[in-house]
Structure 1
Amino acid sequence: MITSDGLDLQDTDASYTGATLGYTTLVRRQHSRVKGWVLLAFVMAIPGLPVLFALAAACQPSASFSHIVDWLLTDMVWTTVKLAVISTCGACMIGVVAAWLVTAYDFWGRGLLSWTLALPLAMPAYVAAYAWGDLTGSRGFYVAVLVYITTLYPYVYLAARSAFEAQSVCALEAARLLGAGPLTRFFKIALPLARPAIGAGAALMGLEIAADFGAADHLGLSTLTTGIFKAWFSFGDLAAAARLAALLLLGVIILVCLERANRSGRVGGGASSWRSLVRVKLKGVWHGFASLGCIALLSFALIVPIGHLILLAIANGLPERSLLQPIASTAFLCILGASATLITASLSAFLAQNGKRVKACVHVASLAGYATPGAVTALGILAALTFGGHHFVAALSGPVAIFGLTYAYVARFSAAGLEPISAGLERCTRSMLEAAATLGANNWQRFLRLEAPLAVPSVFAAALIIAVEIAKELPATTLLRPFGIDTLAVRAHAYAADERLGAAAWPALAIVGLALIPTVWFSHRLSKSRAGQK
């Protein structure tokens, strides 16, 4: 239709409609972008808020911190540093040698030992402390070093083994042709190339030692983590506990920075064309040393402590108090905490697909939550519950306590679920996503109807990992649990604190049994999934 002044109304309407649609599309994109940044801020705030509240609590007046500084602080810091350094060095030597043996050599039992050597991950340090403290008839620093080395060396073992298997065989073969012996090839080529991975495993072990409460408390050691609990439970001083938590957090940051500096400018030594390393068959006395050494390591780390706890449980008879309530409480918290953590980890994995910067932010936030000790996270939540003058005892009851404990699990263990879920989402190829977009599906529809179903096996694996971590967790659970509710970990520690190790053996064995099931499955699958494995 042409008007008197020569305008075509149909063209005008079409132009107006096109402009409107363009503006609507732009607005939707802006809204989608805003929602994405809001979700990203939410994911990053989950581990960050407890730390901020803990630091804010540390700035409050403290009635007992001067006493702690004068009489206790030096011993706490020095003991924590000594434990971390000596135990980590010992575990590095043991874990690296074991990893190199099962990677480069063939000996009796190698196939079985290659994955069973990772099983001590199922043994919490505080459970091993109960067994070794009773076996040796003593407690103290060196028993703690034994406990930490035998329970935490798998962090170094798994990292070193992965690095050794990913290295270029060509470099090792070239060194052999040039006349380098086995030790020279190991120290000059294999070990330097694996140093970044070994450093990462050692850093994880150091974080675990710094954050441990159960083993150090049972063995009578004064560390920063036990000091946090003493400051709260003995002095009732949240500000003093928060200041010790800030010192512990500073140590964790220094450890992470050292690990990053160790990896800076280094490469892992992966081969561009992968070829399986030909294992050398050991003969004579070396064959026996390799087999017996790995068996002895597994025995000290897992078989002997479990066997002793079984004997203690049998000698003690059936537990006086029923374990049904701790089992039910543990199962409830595992289900609730794992569900909330999986939702957060899935949201993080979804956001991580939106560019490298967003992915980096998501991974840094999740790793920061995992690296923050459980006692620090719990103190931050306590500080939030007492913010504004609310009484702590009144706050830590009923649904509020359950919410705080669930929040602590989400903040700490989202990283444990993020990696498996991200790996599962990668099963959805780019062509699948493009086909879904062509059919008109938006980002959320593609995620819920295409990517999420493909990632179900990985989500199941992540749920098992998180549930096991929650079942073993002690510091945050001790601080935040509702009154009158015990988990297996809390019940075992309470019995051990009263020197009733026979009674503590039952819940301790239940924790190990629960943790062993997924650990055996994952360790065996990881071993079989490696290229070139027989």
Structure 2
Amino acid sequence: MRAANHSPLLAVAVLVALLAALPVASVGLNIFVGGTSATWSHLAQTVLPEYIVNSLLLCLGVGLGVALVGVTTAWLTAMHDFPGRRIFEWALVLPLAMPAYVMAYVYTDFLQFVGPVQSALRETFGWQHGDYWFPDIRTLPGAILMFVCVLYPYVYLLARAAFLERASGMLEAARTLGMGPWRAFFAVSLPLSRPAIAAGIALALMETLADYGTVAYFAVNTFTTGIYRAWFSLGDRVAAAQLAAMLLSFVLFLLMVERISRGRARYHNTTGRNRPLAGARLGRPAATLAVVVCAMPLVLGFVLPAALLLKMALTEGDAQFGARFLTLSRNSFLLAGITAGIGVLLALLMAYGARLSKSTLASGLNRLVGLGYAVPGAVIAVGVLIPVTRFDTWLAGQWEQWFGSNPGLLLTGGIAALIYAYLVRFLAVALHTVESSLAKITPNMDDAARCLGLGQGETLRRVHAPMLRGSLFTAGLLVFVDVMKELPATLVMRPFNFDTLATQTYTLASDERLAEASTASLAIVVVGLLPLIALSRQVSRARK
């Protein structure tokens, strides 16, 4: 067992962890190395307060919204029986396939002055311009609504699992003590599920802070839009790094708040009965209300925007559909495929290395890599570009000395740096999936393989890899979809004249060419449905 504790895979984990931590360290170092620039002073005096206030209001609104929608729908589908419940159980996760920026473009077209809603109102009531008031979707409340519609499934999934796992024994005990359904929910179920709900809210808020397309299109100034503006419009990497550091501090603050708020409280289920309760049958009025409550987020978050995208793609069409669309799809699939392949390989090596090492160092390195998912894409993009550009410049100079020709920027001029940023951001998704599946394989199989004379590499190739085939595919698919949807890092780091479906959607929508953006948007949504189909099947089987 001593040889296993010094697995060479531990060196791989150290290297990957250092590369994953480099972007965040680069952002932090540039604050102190670069000093205070004139750009930063200008930003601090003019727009920085707006960035802070808008980011706080976004977090507050989205946090309350996803908690309300996610917990309500989770409680209804987990603990009650009403018509359509089995459909809602899995369908309520579908909005995760709809990127928030795509949702923003669709609803802007749907609710604008010349859109179908306002046009129908004018035709029905004979109104003219100025005769009525209609809310403007391109505002801060509109952005909050977009995020709530697509991010509530994070809370729904975790809260529903918690309700199902911890419901039966303690709820029955509460009912024997005379508690009604509402009192039992607030006194028993909700406190027990608080860690899961808080984790879902934290995930939703991190996605909110990482977003660029929605807030930029709605002209809501946040840290993400400020980073992009400082880097490209003002050309100041120090100011961009300082804004990125502030955004990163927001994310870390979110991760700390809930843990501190819990204090010494614990939320364990001490009963031995963990079998879920049979859903309580609702009467007709309550069942109708439950159907409406579950249908609204599903319709607003997926059904309506998907139908509008399909209608625009089929009726108005995309003038660039054809060779241009195939090029965009090729670029997107190339980036996503390479990142998914490398990500799954690294995740497998790191997870297997931690299994062999059985040391706190290995598990700590995996946790360090796992933090990358909490870092917004804009922060990672800035953190990658600063050191990689310097290394690229040095490498080009050395190349010119050695071979007498200047090759240009080898890393930042291609897709290598962009793939590196994707791996820093999404390797955690693959690592968590592989670790969870690898933990289910008994260590006795490792001992049996060793007794048969198999080394560590042969054991991984011939024993573990075949058993992990399904999990490796799932991990690759999750990374693939995340890369397809990623916008901030792609906008900042893509090579010149290299567009993807996500950047094309953003560019066309920014130019108010929403119909032309429909095909690229629809393609992103369709690809995003693939992992959700498997996830939906698992959700529908959770009660069995």
C-alpha separation in 2, matches of 1:356 and 1:191: 36
TM-aligned CA deviation for residue 410 of structure 1: 1.0
Match of 1:461 in 2: 474
TM-aligned CA deviation for residue 296 of structure 1: 1.6
Contact 2:318–2:518 (CA<8 Å) still a contact in 1?
no
Q: CA RMSD in A?
A: 2.2
C-alpha separation in 2, matches of 1:366 and 1:300: 35
C-alpha separation in 1, matches of 2:86 and 2:334: 37
C-alpha separation in 1, matches of 2:326 and 2:409: 23
Larger mean Cα displacement after TM superposition, 255-264 or 230-239: 255-264
Match of 1:41 in 2: 14
The one-letter code sitting in structure 2 at the alignment partner of 1:501 is L
TM-aligned CA deviation for residue 131 of structure 1: 1.2
C-alpha separation in 2, matches of 1:441 and 1:491: 50
Residues 69/395 of structure 1: CA separation in 2 closer, same or farther (3 Å cut): farther
* TM-score w.r.t. length of structure 2: 0.88
Residues 112/34 of structure 1: CA separation in 2 closer, same or farther (3 Å cut): closer
Match of 1:365 in 2: 368
Match of 2:58 in 1: 83
Larger mean Cα displacement after TM superposition, 251-260 or 101-110: 251-260
TM-aligned CA deviation for residue 170 of structure 1: 1.7
Residues 395/87 of structure 1: CA separation in 2 closer, same or farther (3 Å cut): farther
Per-residue CA deviation, residues 117-149 of structure 1 (Å, 9 max, x unaligned), is 011111111001111222232311011011000
Residues 268/474 of structure 1: CA separation in 2 closer, same or farther (3 Å cut): farther
Match of 1:114 in 2: 89
The one-letter code sitting in structure 2 at the alignment partner of 1:96 is V
Residues 505/38 of structure 1: CA separation in 2 closer, same or farther (3 Å cut): same
Q: Is residue 452 from structure 1 mapped to residue 454 from structure 2 by the alignment?
A: no
Q: Is residue 305 from structure 1 mapped to residue 305 from structure 2 by the alignment?
A: yes
Q: Is residue 253 from structure 1 mapped to residue 252 from structure 2 by the alignment?
A: yes
C-alpha separation in 1, matches of 2:327 and 2:270: 50
Sequence identity (%): 36
Greater C-alpha Rg:
1
Match of 2:351 in 1: 349
Match of 1:335 in 2: 337
C-alpha separation in 2, matches of 1:500 and 1:397: 34
TM-aligned CA deviation for residue 327 of structure 1: 0.3
Match of 1:227 in 2: 226
Contact 2:226–2:240 (CA<8 Å) still a contact in 1?
yes
Per-residue CA deviation, residues 256-293 of structure 1 (Å, 9 max, x unaligned), is 11233345642343753422212100012001000122
Per-residue CA deviation, residues 90-130 of structure 1 (Å, 9 max, x unaligned), is 11011001000001100001011001101111111100111
C-alpha separation in 2, matches of 1:525 and 1:69: 48
Match of 1:60 in 2: 34
C-alpha separation in 2, matches of 1:336 and 1:169: 45
Residues 462/34 of structure 1: CA separation in 2 closer, same or farther (3 Å cut): closer
Contact 1:231–1:238 (CA<8 Å) still a contact in 2?
yes
Match of 1:197 in 2: 196
Contact 2:329–2:500 (CA<8 Å) still a contact in 1?
yes
Contact 1:424–1:459 (CA<8 Å) still a contact in 2?
no
TM-aligned CA deviation for residue 392 of structure 1: 13
C-alpha separation in 2, matches of 1:93 and 1:401: 44
C-alpha separation in 1, matches of 2:408 and 2:289: 58
Match of 2:74 in 1: 99
- 1:225-304 correspondence runs (5 A): 225-262=224-261, 265-269=265-269, 271-304=271-304
Match of 2:178 in 1: 179
Larger mean Cα displacement after TM superposition, 428-437 or 111-120: 428-437
Residues 396/491 of structure 1: CA separation in 2 closer, same or farther (3 Å cut): farther
Match of 2:328 in 1: 326
- Which of structures 1 and 2 has the larger relative contact order (alpha carbons within 8 angstroms, sep 6+)? 2
TM-aligned CA deviation for residue 169 of structure 1: 1.4
Match of 1:20 in 2: none
Residues 399/143 of structure 1: CA separation in 2 closer, same or farther (3 Å cut): closer
Q: Is residue 51 from structure 1 mapped to residue 51 from structure 2 by the alignment?
A: no
- 1:379-398 correspondence runs (5 A): 379-387=382-390, 390=393
C-alpha separation in 2, matches of 1:64 and 1:392: 30
Larger mean Cα displacement after TM superposition, 479-488 or 261-270: 261-270
Secondary structure at 1:483's aligned position in 2? coil
Per-residue CA deviation, residues 339-363 of structure 1 (Å, 9 max, x unaligned), is 1111111112112213251453134
Larger mean Cα displacement after TM superposition, 272-281 or 505-514: 272-281
Secondary structure at 2:453's aligned position in 1? coil
Match of 1:511 in 2: 524
Larger mean Cα displacement after TM superposition, 348-357 or 102-111: 348-357
C-alpha separation in 1, matches of 2:412 and 2:370: 28
Contact 1:327–1:488 (CA<8 Å) still a contact in 2?
yes
